[in-house]
Amino acid sequence: MKKFLAVSLVVLLVSVAFAQVEKPVPVEDIIKKVDELRGMKVEFTQYNKDMKGKITEGSGKVVKIMPPMPFGKMNRVAILSPGSNPSEGYNVILFTAQNPMMELNIGQTIKFRGSFDRASSKWAVVDVTGAYEAEKK
């Protein structure tokens, strides 16, 4: 019994260690997958479920800076990240507690990192909650 508990504890600790060092998914990979799955409702829904909460990161140009939605608390930054040519002009919405209205400019390149919230099959836009850093010139 003690051996079983010891082995179980080791397996648990190794699992936790691997979960903590999981590499972020590049947002460009997510954008490409979202484009591939457009029109495939079941597969798209499953992809959203599988990706929910995973860490993603990327970079891109600021297209639009928006205040929180009426029912929200987070500012929003629309970003055009490499990987597609969206009709809306952006393919990532970053929800952030930072103050982009005071810190960012349209056309500025930023890096961002956060957790995947969802993707829209209609607009091919990926929602991420996280933080940004303006690239230094």
Superfamily of domain 24-134: Nucleic acid-binding proteins (2.40.50.140)
Q: Which of 108, 96, 90 is nearest to 27 (CA)?
A: 90
Cα gap 27→22, rounded to integer Å: 15
**What is the rounded end-to-end Cα distance, in angstroms, of the chain?**
61
pLDDT in tens, 1-26: 444 334 334 444 544 455 556 799 99
Cα gap 92→63, rounded to integer Å: 10
Q: Which of 73, 81, 68, 70 is nearest to 32 (CA)?
A: 81
- The pLDDT value recorded for residue 100 is 93
* Contacts (Cβ under 8 Å, ≥6 apart) of 47: 33, 34, 37, 119
Query: pLDDT: is 84 or 35 the higher one?
Result: 35
- The pLDDT value recorded for residue 10 is 43
pLDDT in tens, 29-58: 999 998 889 889 999 999 999 999 999 999
Where are the chain's structural domains? Answer: 24-134
One-letter identity of residue 83: G
Residues 80-104 have a mean pLDDT of: 87
Helix (H) or strand (E) holding 11: helix 2-20
pLDDT in tens, 66-79: 988 888 889 999 99
Distances (CA, A) of 89 to 11, 57, 75, 94, 125: 46, 19, 19, 14, 10
